Amino acid sequence: MMEASRLSRMVTIVTLILVLSAGQVNGEAPLDGVYTSTGGDLLRGRFSESWVGGMRDEVGNTVHAESWNGVALGSQWEVSCATIAAPPVLIEDRVDENGNGHRTYHALYGGGRFRLAGSGPWGNGDAFYGGEIAHYSHTTTYQYRGSELTSSVVNVQFAGHFDGYPQCMQVTIANAVGLGWGEQLRAYPMFLDGGAGCEEDASMAGEWGDIHSMTLVIRNCSAPTEHASWGTLKNLYR
């Protein structure tokens, strides 16, 4: 009786495992498409940039951006650990002798990762899709009045390939507005230290703001033989 009872339990366990396995969904590459915040596909977001270098626009300063649904950060997407790789280049200076006007800088960043929730419209079975950033840049316009900085507007462009799906490429273009700077502000992404581990560090100073529009392009996932460059995609979705 004991052996029969043990065998019965084993059969039940094996049957349960087979049933659970049959119900699992095998993940596939994300779905190609153009997803936008204006179209409702993408959540808008919030960003922070820690001043690892000591002040704004210094080498080593590190970006952290996350989706914002009005309650929680990061439920749909996240970008982290991209750091300023070289001093930003001044590309336009329209500040007059009274200190009024604007200056625009272009900055290239190195490293970083992105993460998309599998529950998004690009989802195709995986719980989430992550990857390394291959290109990341900011074009930032600072507005001045009486030589005092009053506001900033940022155009963000970055691209990368998905972990496990190297044929897939994603390009994101976003526009953001800087809202403040100083100590870590609650309900904005945590400041990151920019080190090898890219750890959170609320003791740092930095700046933060809102991302009010985004476009995410995912392509080549359904056509593994195609390989689009960053330049090609940027021109298509400028």
Q: Is the pLDDT of residue 227 over 70?
A: no
Predicted local confidence at residue 26, as pLDDT: 54
Of 113, 30, 53, the residue nearest 78 (C-alpha): 113
Model confidence pLDDT, tens digit, residues 61-73: 999 999 999 999 9
Three-class SS of residue 90?
strand
5 pLDDT band, cuts 50/70/90, is very low
Which has the higher per-residue pLDDT, 229 or 198?
198
Model confidence pLDDT, tens digit, residues 97-152: 999 999 999 999 999 999 999 999 999 999 999 999 999 999 999 999 999 999 99
Provide mean pLDDT across the span 187-212.
95
Rounded to the nearest integer, the mean pLDDT of the chain is: 86
Q: Is the pLDDT of residue 8 over 50?
A: no
To the nearest 10°, the Cα dihedral for 234, 74, 24, 33? -20
Q: Do 144 and 150 form a contact (C-beta atoms < 8 A)?
A: yes
Q: Do 101 and 92 form a contact (C-beta atoms < 8 A)?
A: no
Predicted local confidence at residue 34, as pLDDT: 97
Which has the higher per-residue pLDDT, 15 or 221?
221
Q: Which residues of 196-224 are buried (b: 16+ CB within 10 A; e: fewer)?
A: eebebbeebebbbbebeebbbbbbbbeee
Q: What are phi and psi of 89, to 5 degrees?
A: -100, 130
Q: Is the pLDDT of residue 22 over 90?
A: no
Predicted local confidence at residue 62, as pLDDT: 97
